[in-house]
Amino acid sequence: MLLKEGGPHKRRFTHQIMKTATIAAVATPPGIGGVGIIKISGPEALKIAATLFRSCKNDNNTRKADRGHLLPINFQSHRLYYGHIVDPETENSADEVLLAAMPAPRSYTREDVIEIQAHGGAAALSVILALVLRQGARMAEPGEFTQRAFMNGRIDLTQAEAVIDIINARTETALKIAANQVSGQLKITVENIRSNLLDVLVHIEAAIDFPEDISDILSMTDLKAKLHREVAVPIVDLMQNYREGCIYRDGLKLAIVGCPNVGKSSLLNCLLKRDRAIVSPFPGTTRDLIEDSFQIQGVPVTITDTAGLHEAEDPIEKIGIQKARECLKTADVILQVIDGSEEITADDYEIFSFFCGKPLIVVVNKIDLVLDRKTVAPKVTAHWDAPLTVEVSALNGDGIDHLKGCIADAVALKPQDVHHDTVIPNLRHQRALEKCHRNVLSAINALEENRTIELVALDIQEAVGRFDEILGLNVDNDIFEKIFSRFCIGK
């Protein structure tokens, strides 16, 4: 048989190390809050909790003197216990807490897990974590709790990657995409395509083992049709949603550019609906990049106001202009602002000429100062070969909604066409699918050209391997470690 099973030896070795260690970390963000959570996972989790936890009587008047004689308890699964975390050497209370016990395998990591819900102050959490570590646990690495969930078979690698997307989601749409992936929708789709590939491979390998019966085992026409219909087409469907997935997950980069004093900062404030940048009638007010974010049709947008582009003598202005040019190189959409109440200048056209290769929207600002608005757009299109032009007043908000729609159109953003259960916003998945698609097309071509069946089998084998990479059944350790390094400690 050509099909190989199993992952890298290093990964199996890592799994054995994980089984012997108990880890702990603060699972809530730094700062002051009502509740802070410390998570413990591993074979010693329940024992550590029993050493540190003292249950309280079911009243609200339990005095410190009443707590010393209360012994650790045998925790029942998935119940909350009210009590105190104490220093076992002194029996002094560190904090009043709620404690949840989740014995294996009914936990996030499929190990014994304890969650301690304490008050959300840095000092309280630090003291409790220090007590936990003193009892034999070690600090968790970034993403190690989710890594254990993957290694113990609770989730596959696509679901693990979606966890960090949920944490980082900046819009409701991005959250829906990640939540569908965590629930296993992408996993199911990928596994179905992989299963169809394996079905083809089984027939091919049977034909290799029994060459005298190949005509009875294989129908080349049926095989090509199955590869096209049940493998190649679904792969293309997944790949086509990659760009939209990236936009919803990572957002758009929007840059505002233009000559000094055309209203760039005013436009930024208007889009953000708050005063983020200083607005002044004097040119050159913005000398550094000013960055903020908002949403357009459920897409997170990072918008940057840049220094006015012009010949400058001031060394600080020169630095700002250089930063502006660097920022504009990575922008997905550029808004070039011109003053609609003034004549178009050579500097305006020079800026347009420099950036017209990118998605560019010419924003004609200050239309509230124009007496005859019919003359504004022709003034631009006559000079600039009919670019996309939007008239706005950053002062009173006229035209801003239309501008937002034009920004979405500039990147062909169509939220209604995005199916949340089939979006792959992950470049690793996209590259694996592209390689898999090439392997499948190669196999189809080999069948059409009547090449040896062994060559077809090798292409199918390679394609199955690409799906194994996506699911985490066989993945390089460098990629594996890179994925989990993106996580915060405590998740």
User: What is the distance between the alpha carbons of residues 460 and 443, in angstroms, rounded to a whole number?
Assistant: 7
pLDDT at 423: 73
378-404 residue pLDDT tens: 566 555 665 688 888 888 888 889 988
Are both 129 and 169 inside the same structural domain?
no
Locate 100 and state its tokens: 């949840």
Residue 311 lies in a domain: yes
CB-based contact 302:253 (threshold 8 Å):
yes
Pair 70, 56: CB distance under 8 Å = yes
> Is residue 436's pLDDT more than 90?
yes
User: In this structure, are 62 and 77 located in the same domain?
Assistant: yes
pLDDT reading at 3 higher than 50 = no
Read off the pLDDT band of 300 (50, 70, 90): confident
Inside any domain, residue 476: no
| 222 and 116 within one domain | no
Strands of the 360-365 sheet, one edge to the other: 290-296, 299-305, 252-258, 333-339, 360-365, 388-391
- State pLDDT tens for residues 112-166: 999 999 998 889 999 999 999 999 999 999 889 999 999 899 998 888 888 888 8
Cβ neighbors of 151 (< 8 A, separation 6 or more) are 11, 14, 15, 18
| Residues 429-465 as b or e (16 or more Cβ within 10 Å = b) | bbebbeebbebbbbbbebbeeeeebeebbbbbbbbbb
What's the pLDDT score for residue 316?
52
Q: Is 275 in the same domain as 390?
A: yes
Report field, pTM of the whole predicted structure over 0.75:
no
What CATH number should be reported for the domain holding residue 214?
1.20.120.430
Same domain flag for 26 and 121:
yes
pLDDT, tens digit (0-9, with 9 covering 90-100), for 335-377: 888 888 888 887 788 777 777 677 888 888 888 887 666 655 5
Do 131 and 77 reside in the same domain of the chain? yes
Quote the mean pLDDT of the chain.
79
Shared domain for 409 and 260, answered yes or no, is yes
> How far, in Å, CA of 306 to CA of 257, rounded?
6
Overall domain count for the chain? 3
Within a domain: 365: yes
Within this chain, do residues 218 and 342 fall inside the same structural domain, yes or no? no
One domain, residues 213 and 258: no
Separation CA 25–CA 19 (nearest Å)? 17
**The CATH number of the domain where 82 resides is what?**
3.30.1360.120
In a domain, 479, yes or no: no
Q: Evaluate whether residue 88 is within a structural domain.
A: yes
> Domain with 304 in it: what CATH number?
3.40.50.300
Same domain, 101 and 87: yes
Between the alpha carbon of residue 224 and those of residues 55, 74, 203, the distances in Å are 67, 61, 13
Indicate whether 101 belongs to any domain.
yes
Kindly state the percentage of the chain with pLDDT values over 70. 77
Q: Which domain holds residue 86?
A: 9-156
Whether residue 200 sits in one domain with residue 82: no
